[in-house]
């Protein structure tokens, strides 16, 4: 197996060097590091009261921050604990938050999308999971028809048949498993050992229980990963046949996430090797009939995500990619983000503060980002590129009543440069990304990001 990426990836060494820079992941625009601190709970309540009447389905995101063990690579907002009692108090505050926020959303709005993320949502025991669903059902209109998307992130080490059956009973029809890599040496290096046999048994049970969609999360750029090992991991992934695969580029930021220093004794793959790993994963999945979705997702062609891409309704959000079902997402729990048409609001990160604010019946928020017209325009451009890999200027002109070529004069000069480098095809009225551009998508999006010079150290490398 060759060590070099060059036979798979057309980027020259100079291009890799030029574009291996820090950049946001564009799960939102403006990126989350531009959310303003000191959000006011009262002002948020006023906003919710006064915003234009919003109709249509709702999306709920519930964050369960607890984990039993630490995975060294982790960049999530989590609390590692073996204290099982911690969840009960958390649910007490969460119930207050659910009640408080539900007051601002009319009862007729159906919850078509529900996602439990973490942390480890299955840190909650069966009684706690039931309690949480009951709270949500009391204050929001949950639905039971087939097209609902109720999903939960599952750590394969924390679930058994009993919980799986319970999740079906509670209405979940989608499961996402944190796989990362099947290679034992990689798993030991990242402190997350979970055998293929155990995962294969779990996958069999998930399919028997009739979940509509099974998704795997993988990470490349981890210690001990080689092209050879990743090919073997991908053979196992394909054998298990998940409906979706999310492939994440490991974000090494030990200054922000101290557990990552535990991997200091290992060499991390360099930028060229990471690109080769990403390319190996892509080849395996495309070869097995999956469709590439945006910058880091893959789906079977019959999956809703692939259909949303074909219909032009694919969206990028804090969970990655999503079908376009809701204009508003209500974030519940520690650090959860709510999305409205012209605003993001983020909950507090500190557990004690979360309890304190809800103890005083206050919204547990700490950050906000109000979008002006220019932000909304640029968000549209960035999300179109990130989802569709193309951008039609006429469509933007119609939607925002602008002259794209005039408005984005300086950005188009940079697009011309990127065209010469083979990242995209530029015409009089469109941008279309090439295969190389797809891999450097974050760099292309960054050209349209007005905020990029600020706090760039917060961001991970693009490659
Ligand atoms: S990767 Fe998941 S399970 Fe591991 S520490 Fe992070 S949030 Fe917890």
**Cβ burial, residue 98 (10 Å; 0-12/13-18/19+):** buried
Together in a domain, 252 and 323: yes
What CA–CA distances, in Å, run from 441 to 173, 203, 388? 31, 32, 11
Tally of CA atoms within 13 A in the half-sphere of 64 that contains its CB: 26
Tell which atom from ligand 1 comes closest to the C-alpha of 259: 5
Tell which atom from ligand 1 comes closest to the C-alpha of 118: 7
pLDDT at 24: 87
Q: Tell me how far apart the alpha carbons of residues 188 and 71 are, in angstroms, rounded to a whole number.
A: 10
For residue 409, report the distance from its CA to the centre of ligand 1, in Å. Answer: 43
Instruction: Let me know if residue 337 belongs to a domain.
Output: no
Q: Which residues line ligand 1 (CB under 6 A)?
A: 67, 70-71, 74, 76, 78, 118-120, 155, 178
Q: What is the CATH number of the domain that holds 169?
A: 3.80.30.20
Q: What is the crossing angle of helices 86-102 and 126-139, to 10°?
A: 10
pTM recorded for the entire structure: 0.92
Q: What is the DSSP letter of 53?
A: P
Pick the last residue of a domain from 277, 308, 332: 332
Q: Tell me how far apart the alpha carbons of residues 49 and 76 are, in angstroms, rounded to a whole number.
A: 32
Instruction: Let me know if residue 382 belongs to a domain.
Output: yes
Together in a domain, 210 and 268: yes
Together in a domain, 327 and 416: no
Tell which atom from ligand 1 comes closest to the C-alpha of 180: 1
**What is the tally of structural domains in the chain?**
2
Instruction: Let me know if residue 15 belongs to a domain.
Output: no
Q: Tell me how far apart the alpha carbons of residues 369 and 413 are, in angstroms, rounded to a whole number.
A: 29
Please give the average per-residue pLDDT across 206-228, as a whole number.
96
β partners of residue 219: 248
Counting residues of the chain whose pLDDT is more than 70, the rounded percentage is 95
pLDDT band, very low/low/confident/very high, at 3 (cuts 50, 70, 90): very low
Together in a domain, 293 and 427: no
Check pLDDT > 50 for residue 8.
no
pLDDT at 370: 96
* Residues 300, 246 contacting (CB under 8 angstroms): no
Together in a domain, 284 and 430: no
pLDDT band, very low/low/confident/very high, at 19 (cuts 50, 70, 90): confident
β partners of residue 449: none
Kindly report the number of other CB atoms within 10 A of residue 275's CB atom: 24
Element (H, E) at 386: helix 373-388
- Write out pLDDT tens, residues 58-67: 999 999 999 9
Q: What is the CATH number of the domain that holds 400?
A: 1.10.10.920
Q: Tell me how far apart the alpha carbons of residues 87 and 129 are, in angstroms, rounded to a whole number.
A: 10
Check pLDDT > 60 for residue 121.
yes
Range of lowest pLDDT (125-139, 175-189, 448-462): 448-462
Instruction: Let me know if residue 421 belongs to a domain.
Output: yes
- Write out pLDDT tens, residues 315-346: 888 878 888 666 799 999 999 999 999 999 99
Instruction: Let me know if residue 111 belongs to a domain.
Output: yes
Together in a domain, 262 and 411: no
For residue 118, report the distance from its CA to the centre of ligand 1, in Å. Answer: 7
Together in a domain, 328 and 377: no
Instruction: Let me know if residue 145 belongs to a domain.
Output: yes
Full residue range of the structural domain in which residue 444 is found: 373-451
Three-class SS of residue 211? coil
For residue 120, report the distance from its CA to the centre of ligand 1, in Å. Answer: 7
Together in a domain, 306 and 424: no
Together in a domain, 324 and 377: no
Tell which atom from ligand 1 comes closest to the C-alpha of 74: 6
Element (H, E) at 435: helix 435-439
333-363: b (≥16 Cβ within 10 Å) or e: bbbbbbbbebebbbbbeebeebbebbeeebb
């Amino acid at each position: 197996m060759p060590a070099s990426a060059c036979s798979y990836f057309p980027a020259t060494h100079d291009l890799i060097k030029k574009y291996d820079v820090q950049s946001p992941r564009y799960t939102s625009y403006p990126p989350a590091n531009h959310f303003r601190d000191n959000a006011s709970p009262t002002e948020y309540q006023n906003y919710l009261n006064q915003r234009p009447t919003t109709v249509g389905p709702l999306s709920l995101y519930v964050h369960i921050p607890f984990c039993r063990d630490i995975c060294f690579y982790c960049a999530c907002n989590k609390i590692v604990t073996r204290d099982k009692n911690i969840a009960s108090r958390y649910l007490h505050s969460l119930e207050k938050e659910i009640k408080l926020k539900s007051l601002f959303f009319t009862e007729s709005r159906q919850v078509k999308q529900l996602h439990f993320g973490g942390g480890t949502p299955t840190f909650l025991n069966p009684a706690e999971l039931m309690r949480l669903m009951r709270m949500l059902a009391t204050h929001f209109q949950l639905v039971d028809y087939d097209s609902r998307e109720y999903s939960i992130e599952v750590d394969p080490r924390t679930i058994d048949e009993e919980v799986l059956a319970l999740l079906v009973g509670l209405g979940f029809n989608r499961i996402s498993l944190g796989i990362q890599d099947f290679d034992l040496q990689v798993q030991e290096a990242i402190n997350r050992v979970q055998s293929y046999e155990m995962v294969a048994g779990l996958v069999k049970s998930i399919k028997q229980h009739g979940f509509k969609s099974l998704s795997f999360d993988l990470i490349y750029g981890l210690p001990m990963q080689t092209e050879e090992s990743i090919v073997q991991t991908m053979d196992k992934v394909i054998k298990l046949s998940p409906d979706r695969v999310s492939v994440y580029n490991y974000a090494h930021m030990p200054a922000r996430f101290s557990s990552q220093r535990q991997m200091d004794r290992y060499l991390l793959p360099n930028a060229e090797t990471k690109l080769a790993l990403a390319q190996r994963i892509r080849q395996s999945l495309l070869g097995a009939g999956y469709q590439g979705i945006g910058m880091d997702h893959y789906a079977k062609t019959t999956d809703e995500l692939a259909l949303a891409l074909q219909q032009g309704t694919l969206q990028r959000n804090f969970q990655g990619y999503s079908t376009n079902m809701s204009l508003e997402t209500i974030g519940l729990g520690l650090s959860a983000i709510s999305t409205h048409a012209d605003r993001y609001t983020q909950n507090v990160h500190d557990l004690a503060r979360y309890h304190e604010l809800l103890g005083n019946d206050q919204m547990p928020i700490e950050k906000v980002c109000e979008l002006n017209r220019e932000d909304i325009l640029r968000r549209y451009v960035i999300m179109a590129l990130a989802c569709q890999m193309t951008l039609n200027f006429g469509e933007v002109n119609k939607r925002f009543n602008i002259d794209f070529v005039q408005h984005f004069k300086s950005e188009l000069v940079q697009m011309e440069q990127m065209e010469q480098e083979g990242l995209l095809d530029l015409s009089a009225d469109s941008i279309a990304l090439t295969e190389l551009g797809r891999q450097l998508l974050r760099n292309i999006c960054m050209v349209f990001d007005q905020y990029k010079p600020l706090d760039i150290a917060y961001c991970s490398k693009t490659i």
